[in-house]
Structure 1
């Protein structure tokens, strides 16, 4: 593809591509996105063409309507939104300025430039640690993982930000926001233009595609900032990879949250934009995978291919005969895996191990915003999110409701910006869910979830015997009787294929219980179900809701999403699409 061709396509009106769209089963029809307009509108069309969704992206736009609480398109800040937008602005300046250093050539700036190229292999590989990440990178670049590559490419097409960008029409941090695209904008005292330090490498940006460098600040100046397209891309890749490689899911999710944060480092996005992309990526991948048998089969095939390749290389290099053994041997899930020394006003501690990675990810789920809605509301778990736990070996025998309880117990609190309209997607914390030890009672109820483990596991305990409350985490009910749950279990079976990590047998997840009532150091627990409690030996029959007391509104089922492959009619257009999505 020549640079002249690329330039011509960038300026062309929309409609140049015929796209096989994702469609609801009820309609079972394909549609192509068609839009016309200026270069800025064609930018939006390229985004839609790259990432078709069932409705051209309107579903995502609907999930993000809480943004209207803070911003009115083409008018400006709302009275209720000024404080939130001021925090948004201040964090943008703080993160950008701190990363810039003396000359905009810091290690963090260079990492941000690499992520900006939207090469998912380069972004994702170091989430797996130096050894396994090296295997992944070399195999992907050598074309040895075609099913994995195809699956991740399909996940990129699972959601579109184009409609949302056009709908919310929010200006970039470095432009004259008071006079945006010919409109007078009422900022209600907020700065007209933020103090953004432009990174030299983004003013002369090499996409790595053989074309002449671009000034991305100029190219993005009139395109909407919300939600972030680059962050959406990063999260489709991270959620996709963690779904098929959940053994390192916490590190993968933290790495793509870093990629989203790097858009702030470059000064082209705000934290709210990143939160919007976070929602978009999770929603897109989970909806695509959960709603289509072919997508599920493709995910399974990609996992088999990836695990087999990584395991073979690990074995050849003496790191163990299984992937789990290799992860343990190389320290990929501890302090020899993904690390990141960059800190800011949100992530104040360097990432040095799995726990600190999960902490960083969790901090970027809210970016320190004040809650603008009601805190402590009942858990909301989208139905489609359950599919993200399907490949966790330890969770194989869990039912959909049990997996929902795990997601509920690990989700973030309600009331933060964008939560109100997100139908639960803003709260889902996959980094915690992928690292959880899950405790079931004899009836199969999830009674305790403990994230941050080296490997996920499921154990079963007896609860309520002799009126004892085993565990002390009773979701708000009184702790009557003796507490027998002093330690975590050392002897239980229930890790389903995790090769005996943490002293577990590794088989029959959650079915065998080596001793009860804390006799073997188990952490007996009545869980965090606050509806009925478990006192005086009675089991809790309330609604299953680890953390909030109930699973109210477990999510809006995204009915019958069919994953289709986008057919781009113009040769080489995919590279142009990638260039213009931000």
Structure 2
């Protein structure tokens, strides 16, 4: 956010305040030089998110090959191993590996191979054993209820998400940029509606899914390459063959398979497992890749990826655990390919090309592109409602299962997972991004999700909203000259913890959560904006440089002390007509050693002559601002008291 001088029609007045002879501010109570309090104490060190000791998926993804399913085991296949939590729900029939077999034990997992499998439950040839009957029953019953109550719109969406290319479908998460992306990628589909005879005819998409890749598409080929490369070594087939868990309609006749998808029903159950969902895994990794290239639509794309997974449940094709595991494998596969050093140049080329091409297509530039990307409304962008996206993402991350494991376990962050936030939070270090993932992780204990590496508990939607906790010093350096999120970002999580935030650099950070961290806030450069009443947590606020903005719909609350030093410091209050909007209240002492107060009026509010506006109230107030500017008014009188500051509007 950048401020420019007021235009001629908007007159700003600067009111010079008296200073002591030595040029310093004074304590009005005894006219002695004002001595500001010290900055909030540092917490000693930044929090870290150590790499877990478990064998890393990003190092072993190449083992996830379709190959001979007989040797796809937890010991030999990364895709099977990452979903090993399913063994607490369902144990597939396996055979021990003979001596000399190419499938050794690993990380304590037994060396086993898949047995012959029919894929038909309760047929007298058991393919496994139900370990947790309650979870299994809830898993299948969820599909029974979902398919019995699906709407016509959901049925149409489920059909399209089944038969259409997943990469094409996920682009719906781009909202105002969808058409431009599809045109640039040269994406096509032959399935845009449900044919009248779809109940008896199998229609396959004749389009090109992700588009035209490489040099054949000079304007967008690098972007298509990025989306394609996250599918390397990402097959769900080994997991399907190892776990041998049937599709929901084979478990229960009460599951109502979508009639238009009956022609797509496999006639060979033994090669048609439900766990894990291939559609869900592909949609997730495509969404992650697109979000990497175009982080201005990060959360919306991720939301679309999980929506496509839920379509598989509504279709009757998959169960919640099938879909949930697809999210896990899809995230891990995308991260492993994005973290591969061999793909560094490809990533950079895709990000650059995506922005250059789409800006040209939409008539935007570096300053206006982000706003355009978010310009949709619920009428023309299904993912325009942030609150709905957030609620749906959380629901689709757990599907309402009750915990079956330890609750309250500390989160771990997989090796390489920090790459998933690389373009969304480019101003953070890799170590900081790992802490963001750690402090925003999903709770522990849910079925399948407590893998040793931490992939199951990642909540990328929440991570895109910044830290979930400050458990140490968080030093944030944003360089506005680099543009994009370096110049402006918003954190919407409710931040807890005992740590301290230190904002540095020329960029702008907006805080919008119901925050309660207690270690304090120190602003030394750039802009720090409070968009909620408790934006700055429960500690002191210390401004040694830059601009602090109060833009909350109610008075912005400083729970401790507020200190503003002299020099290039500004407190901006965006005052509204009702509820104390934009004003600031300080529970402790407010010390104003100098600097500027700028008052703006928001939402069309225009005070009239004679109005007295309380802009700052405190337990106690010492000192004065050197300069006060009030946009639009040439005659304003500041009235200081021992506990606050009000402005009287002149005629």
Measured at CA, do residues 514 and 67 of structure 1 come closer, stay the same or move farther in structure 2, by a change above 3 Å?
A: same
Equivalent in the alignment of 1:325? 368
Q: 8 Å contact 1:57–1:163 — kept in the other structure?
A: no
Give 3-state SS (helix, strand or coil) of 1:460's partner: strand
Higher relative contact order (CA 8 A, sep 6+): 1
Are 2:225 and 1:174 equivalent residues in the alignment? Answer: no
Structure 1 position 371, deviation (Å): 0.7
Give 3-state SS (helix, strand or coil) of 2:456's partner: coil
Q: 8 Å contact 1:96–1:267 — kept in the other structure?
A: yes
Are 2:449 and 1:408 equivalent residues in the alignment? Answer: no
For 1:122-201, list aligned pairs within 5 A. Answer: 122-129=168-175, 131-141=176-186, 143=212, 144-175=219-250, 177=251, 193-201=252-260
Give 3-state SS (helix, strand or coil) of 1:364's partner: helix
Measured at CA, do residues 525 and 233 of structure 1 come closer, stay the same or move farther in structure 2, by a change above 3 Å?
A: farther
Structure 1 position 134, deviation (Å): 1.1
Q: 8 Å contact 1:127–1:337 — kept in the other structure?
A: no
Q: For residues 30 and 222 of structure 1, what CA distance do their matches in structure 2 show?
A: 20
Q: For residues 61 and 282 of structure 2, what CA distance do their matches in structure 1 show?
A: 26
Structure 1 position 515, deviation (Å): 5.5
User: What TM-score do the two structures reach when normalised by structure 2?
Assistant: 0.54
Are 2:492 and 1:451 equivalent residues in the alignment? Answer: yes
Give 3-state SS (helix, strand or coil) of 1:383's partner: coil
Structure 1 position 230, deviation (Å): 1.2
Q: For residues 31 and 414 of structure 1, what CA distance do their matches in structure 2 show?
A: 26
Q: Which structure 1 segments of 5+ residues have no match?
A: 1-22, 36-40, 178-192, 205-214, 340-350, 463-470, 496-500, 503-510, 527-535, 537-582
Question: Which portions of structure 1, spanning 4 or more consecutive aligned residues, are displaced by more than 6 angstroms?
Answer: 23-32, 437-442, 516-526
Q: For residues 291 and 220 of structure 2, what CA distance do their matches in structure 1 show?
A: 16
For 1:358-369, list aligned pairs within 5 A. Answer: 358-369=390-401
Q: For residues 280 and 28 of structure 1, what CA distance do their matches in structure 2 show?
A: 10
Measured at CA, do residues 163 and 219 of structure 1 come closer, stay the same or move farther in structure 2, by a change above 3 Å?
A: same
Give 3-state SS (helix, strand or coil) of 1:365's partner: helix
Structure 1 position 441, deviation (Å): 10
Q: For residues 559 and 448 of structure 2, what CA distance do their matches in structure 1 show?
A: 33
Equivalent in the alignment of 1:262? 311
Q: How many residues align?
A: 406
Q: How large is the Cα RMSD of the aligned pairs?
A: 4.4
**Greater share of residues in strand:** 2
Are 2:436 and 1:387 equivalent residues in the alignment? Answer: no
Q: For residues 383 and 441 of structure 1, what CA distance do their matches in structure 2 show?
A: 21
Q: For residues 331 and 34 of structure 1, what CA distance do their matches in structure 2 show?
A: 43
Equivalent in the alignment of 2:133? 82
Q: For residues 312 and 238 of structure 1, what CA distance do their matches in structure 2 show?
A: 23
Equivalent in the alignment of 1:297? 345
Q: For residues 302 and 125 of structure 1, what CA distance do their matches in structure 2 show?
A: 16
Equivalent in the alignment of 2:462? 432
Q: For residues 452 and 425 of structure 1, what CA distance do their matches in structure 2 show?
A: 20
Q: 8 Å contact 1:202–1:217 — kept in the other structure?
A: no
**Corresponding residue to 1:98 among 121, 134, 149:** 149
Q: 8 Å contact 2:161–2:311 — kept in the other structure?
A: yes
Measured at CA, do residues 525 and 378 of structure 1 come closer, stay the same or move farther in structure 2, by a change above 3 Å?
A: farther
Equivalent in the alignment of 2:358? 310
Equivalent in the alignment of 1:203? 262
**Bigger Rg, structure 1 or 2:** 2
Structure 1 position 227, deviation (Å): 0.8
